[in-house]
Structure 1
Amino acid sequence: MASSATRRTAPSSASATPAPASAPPRVGEQIQRMRTERKLTLDDLSRAAGVSKSMLSEIERDKANPTIAVAWRLTNALGISLDQLFATQRAHETIAVSGPHEIPTLDGHDAKYQLRVWGPIELAGKFEWYELTLQPGGALVSNAHEPGTREHLTVLAGAIEVEADGDTKRLKLADTARYQADVPHAIRNAGKTEAKALLVVIHG
């Protein structure tokens, strides 16, 4: 562990908000978040960075500020640069807002459908929700997802036909279909006008 004489924090990058001179940057929360995102335990990161577990615990709880050398070891083990660590510092957002241009959109031009991905990317593969738009004649045809996966589809406009494992149901406005998605399945526009639906996928 570094002595108090050598305990210096790494300089922040130009894009980070500078901390007051009397208050060194608090990096503990950022390191803990990145460690958790990578599914690393304190022991894992401690061994990978060559930093004692007790020191890492103090840093994550903002009880101690890392030296430049320790910060470099930690960021190297996490696969990021020092600049990235400090550039991510910002005030905690109680409400995070995404504009329309930040919502990923999948276009199936030939199949005449559009999927807007409303769910956050970190939940992909676990719990997802989409806005599905189908043009007349449009269809979203899917192979079987992993065992136990189910879909929940609510019609917001138009008429939609859902097929799963050979069974077919026609839905009208405000109807909701719940069905297995670990079998081949399809969602089709059953009318002559544009159809929209909320599609929720819960993976098994």
Structure 2
Amino acid sequence: MNMARARPAPAPEPPRVGATLARLRAEQGLSLDELSRKAGVSKSMLSQIERNQANPTVAVVWRLANALGVGLAGLLDGDQPVEPAIVTVAAQATPTLRSPDGSHELRILGPIELAGQFEWYELILQPGGALVSQAHEPGSREHLTVLSGSVEVTSGDESQRLKHGETARYRVDRAHAIRNVGKSAATALLVVMHSA
């Protein structure tokens, strides 16, 4: 009787940290020399790791993770990008919506993934300019804080004037508007909270 020998399953490959290491180093603006000094790992070893020509020991991974300010998993799990603690958006990269007549503009300050739930904007109204909106879903509210100038907020049949430093909180499940009633441009922070 001819019995074939069972072959052992191949051992899984160790994690390849090269691409993750290179990405994290680039995100932090570190050269190989700088990371080498911070981590106490030779520049040639770092280069080999990034090109997947060497697999680092646990001690080396630990030193690299500490130098980069990430956990061990941040280096070992290359499929999961490590989100930086602080994300900045340059002023020129902030999306802006301008009315066709130039009477107002909204700078979108909130992240796009929260749109329809929680939104915030910088609103700039020229003299006589107005942001007029139809009703949002039932239960929705806006919070408007005037940073400069003076505005009038209308919600349904009610209106209220606001000056620098004042905040209005009002229902927007009815027609509503924000108007510049002053003689100079008005600026405000506008937060929209949609009902769930």
TM-score by length of 1: 0.60
Matched, 1:22 2:50: no
Give, as a single letter, the amino acid of the residue that structure 1 aligns with 2:124: T
Q: Which amino acid aligns with 1:146?
A: E
Q: What is the distance in 2 between the residues matched to 1:100 and 1:125? A: 23
Structure-2 residue corresponding to 1:104: 95
Q: Distance in 2 between matches of 1:144 and 1:19?
A: 57
CA separation of 1:105 and 1:4: change in aligned 2, threshold 3 A: farther
Structure 2 CA distance for aligned equivalents of residues 157 and 151 of structure 1: 18
Equivalent residue, structure 1, for 2:108: 117
**What does residue range 62-81 of structure 1 map to in structure 2 within 5 Å?**
none
- Alpha-carbon distance in structure 2 between the residues aligned to 1:113 and 1:156: 15
Unaligned 5+ segments in structure 2 are 1-8, 25-49, 57-72
Give distance in 2, aligned partners of 1:129 and 1:19.
43
Q: Which amino acid aligns with 2:86?
A: I
**What residue number does 2:5 align with?**
none
**Structure 1 gap segments, 5+ residues each:** 24-61, 67-84
Partner of 1:198: 189
Change (3 A) 1:109 1:120: same
Paired residue for 2:42? none
**Alignment partner, residue 174 of structure 1:** 165
The separation in 1 between residues aligned to 2:188 and 2:171, in whole angstroms, is 17
- Which of the numbers 178, 183, 189 marks the counterpart of 1:187? 178
Identity %: 48
Q: Which 10-residue stretch deviates more, 182-191 or 93-102?
A: 93-102
What amino acid maps onto 2:194 in structure 1? H
> What RMSD, in angstroms, separates the aligned Cα atoms of the two structures?
3.0
**In the alignment, residue 183 of structure 1 is paired with which amino acid?**
R
Matched, 1:142 2:175: no
Q: Residue 122 of structure 1: CA displacement?
A: 1.4
1:153 deviates by 0.3
How far apart in 2 are the matches of 1:19 and 1:121? 36
Q: Give the AA of the match of 2:169.
A: R
1:109 alignment partner AA: P
Retained in 1: the 8 A contact 2:133–2:175? yes
Note closer, same or farther for the CA distance 1:125–1:166 as it changes in structure 2 (3 Å cut): same
- Kept in 2: contact 1:139–1:186 (CA 8 A): yes
Alpha-carbon shift at residue 134 of structure 1 (Å): 0.2
How far off its partner does 1:9 sit?
7.2
Per-residue CA shift, 1:77-120, capped at 9, x if unaligned?
A: xxxxxxxx96x845x41221111122111111326111011111
**Which residue is 2:150 aligned to?**
159
TM-score (norm 2): 0.62
Cα offsets for 1:43-101 (capped at 9, x unmatched): xxxxxxxxxxxxxxxxxxx6xx99xxxxxxxxxxxxxxxxxx96x845x4122111112
* Secondary structure, counterpart of 1:22 in structure 2: coil
Secondary structure of the residue aligned to 1:188 is: strand
SS at structure 2 position matched to 1:193: coil
1:151 alignment partner AA: E
